Structure 1
Amino acid sequence: MKYVILIHSNPQPWGHPTDRFTDEGHQQSEEWHAETGRSFDALMEEINASGEFVTAMALADPASSSVYGWSADSRPGEHLRTDGPYAETKEQLAGFFVIDTETRERAEEIAAHFAQPGGHVELRPSMWGDPED
């Protein structure tokens, strides 16, 4: 089953890895960041070797996004465009990983590794993929 790990954060300034750029991340020691980096690298090696890793992408600053919407007055083909970010919220989508695991429990185990200071991680099953999903 495929899952998406959505990483929400509010780094100031925007940067990756986001835990290096959040207020909470600044409070962590350099040793903590180094160990976290080693742990993340080990996780990536593990899920690559097991075939569970599908893809991942870090996203640019939400201020650089364009948002397209619809209003009751819109006609077909007409969409309202505004500059991002899309939501008036402190945390924004910073990136995502797609994984393919045998069980939800394994997906949860992997997703837990993405929790970080100053951010939240959301694990969500995909709706489409394998016919068995």
Structure 2
Amino acid sequence: MKYMIMTFGDVSAWDTLGLGAGEATWSEEEVAEHFRAMSAFYADLADSGEMVTGYGLADPSHAMTVEIRDGRPVTSDGPYAEAKEVLAGFGVIDVASHDRAVELAARFAGIVRTRVELRPVMDGSGQEM
């Protein structure tokens, strides 16, 4: 069964880590430990064969929305209209059960210090993968 673990955070999270336009509030050691813990989590999943893919996303100031109007693509800056909370990253896992997916999502929520969303991945026919 495949699940996506999505990490959400306030837009100031990039500043907290020193990755945004604002001043970092975490020490260099805290940032290094944060990334070590995330790397160890993903390495454990790779070793167990449960990791499909996962990435952090760039600061939301680099995002844009794309839609079709009158048959033509129209782009605008920013991920969403005036949203404080944004998608910060994601991972796709392939696990034997829903319980295992919840276990891994809970472990990751502890690492990233925020809530995460866990959602089954669907195939093209609408069935869970």
- Give TM-score, length-normalised by structure 1: 0.70
Structure 2: give runs of 5+ residues left out of the alignment. 19-24
C-alpha distance 13-53 of structure 1, shift in aligned 2 (>3 A): closer
The equivalent position to 1:91 in structure 2, one of 47, 64, 85, is 85
Q: Deviations over 1:81-130 (max 9, x none)?
A: 2111323221111111010001011011111122233x32100110128x
* Structure 1 residue 63 displacement after superposition: 1.3
Q: CA, structure 1 residues 99+20, in 2 after alignment: closer, same or farther (shift >3 Å)?
A: same
Residue 7 in 1 paired to residue 7 in 2?
yes
- Structure 1 residue aligned with 2:123: 128
User: What TM-score do you get using the length of structure 2 for normalisation?
Assistant: 0.72
| Deviant stretches of 4+, over 6 Å | none
Q: Which residue of 1 aligns with 2:103?
A: 109
After superposition, residues 1-133 of structure 1 pair within 5 angstroms as 1-12=1-12, 14=14, 20=17, 34=33, 39-70=37-68, 74-75=69-70, 77-115=71-109, 116-117=112-113, 119-128=114-123, 133=129
The one-letter amino acid of 2:77's match is D
Asked if 2 retains the 8 angstrom alpha-carbon contact of 1:40 and 1:113, the reply is no
Give the unaligned 5+ runs of structure 1.
none
Distance in 2 separating the partners of 1:97 and 1:37: 15
Total equivalences in the alignment: 120
**1:44 counterpart letter in structure 2:** Y
